[in-house]
Amino acid sequence: MGRVLASVVAAFLIETSAGQDAASPELEPRLSGSAQIGVADKYIYHGYVLENQGAIIQPEFEVLARFYSGETVVTKASWRLYLFSSFQTHESRAEVTDAMIRSWYEVQVETGIVLELAKHFTFSASYVRFESPNHAFIAANAAEFILSLDDSEWLGACALYPHVSWFRPFPGGWASSDEGSYFEFGIEPERSFGKSERPVTISLPIAIGLGQKRYYLGEHFGFFSASVSVSVPLAFIPSSWGEWNLGLSGTYYRLGRNVADSSNGGIRNESAFTLTLGTEF
């Protein structure tokens, strides 16, 4: 791991040095990312309802460090780090008694490589680690591969931004689900309104989650979801502090029978709402 990180840093520094020598004003920043905090009424992951009571607060952070740019099939390559946590005031499965830790349900860490292919496709390969500070579940590991397409050049305002993903748990954790894989297919059309510098954006994410073998306890269908998300720029915040946005989303879920029975008391129709405050840099 140390050698890989050292190689990434070295390549990053070499490209940065070369870019400084060229002194081109058109060069994109080598570092980019986002941070946000969300407040939700439910925590639903891959269709499983993990929590549906109390306050749920979920901060997340992502950074990309680009270490390659070119004009071949691979036009960009970046190292990615993603951090996510879920704090839940109602956690009946917590095994610890300390009040501070008892509400800390999950820490999720993802790291890997992101490749931009032919300027339209994005492929990411990540290692995913799940920890539960309050011991609500045992630690688990997985690999995740995502391929997405930016089709806005061809479809314009009607672009669908489709994606497919494959999530494969490693042995250990997930109970019987480590015997199978998770597949997701989705689209996320969006429209922007208002000033081009800070537009209001409305997106309509739609996804379907499928399981292989026993990921969904023997059933292939995990869930179908359809969302409406609105993001409003906070123009009163100086741009030197970043581009801040306030978002609100509502999602309808149709759960598979096994998912509903195991995590939602057999209820197959579910909804979730999330309020977010975030920035990009």
Mean pLDDT of 4-24: 42
Name the pTM for this structure.
0.85
Tell me: pLDDT of 223 over 90. yes
At residue 281, the pLDDT reads: 86
Rounded Cα distance between 106 and 59, Å, is: 11
Query: Which one is predicted more confidently, 44 or 30?
Result: 44
Nearest to 171 by CA among 132, 204, 138: 138
Tell me the pLDDT tens digit for each residue of 176-206: 445 789 999 999 999 998 776 778 999 999 9
Query: Token match 């460090």: residue?
Result: 65
Query: Which one is predicted more confidently, 246 or 217?
Result: 246
Rounded Cα distance between 213 and 104, Å, is: 31
Pick from 18-32, 94-108, 162-176: least confident: 18-32
At residue 6, the pLDDT reads: 42
How far is the first Cα of the chain from the last one, in angstroms, to the nearest whole number? 27
Q: Which domain holds residue 139?
A: 2-280
What CATH number should be reported for the domain holding residue 84? Answer: 2.40.160.40
Tokens of 194: 């208002």
Nearest to 253 by CA among 228, 271, 267: 271
Residue 63's φ and ψ, nearest 5 degrees, are: -135, 140
pLDDT band at 101; cut points 50, 70, 90: confident
pLDDT band at 86; cut points 50, 70, 90: very high
Express as a percent the part of the chain with pLDDT over 70.
85
Q: How many structural domains is the chain composed of? A: 1
At residue 15, the pLDDT reads: 46
Tell me: pLDDT of 175 over 70. no
At residue 240, the pLDDT reads: 79
Rounded Cα distance between 2 and 23, Å, is: 31
Tell me the pLDDT tens digit for each residue of 37-57: 999 999 999 999 999 999 999
At residue 18, the pLDDT reads: 45
**Mean pLDDT over each residue of the chain, to the nearest integer:** 87
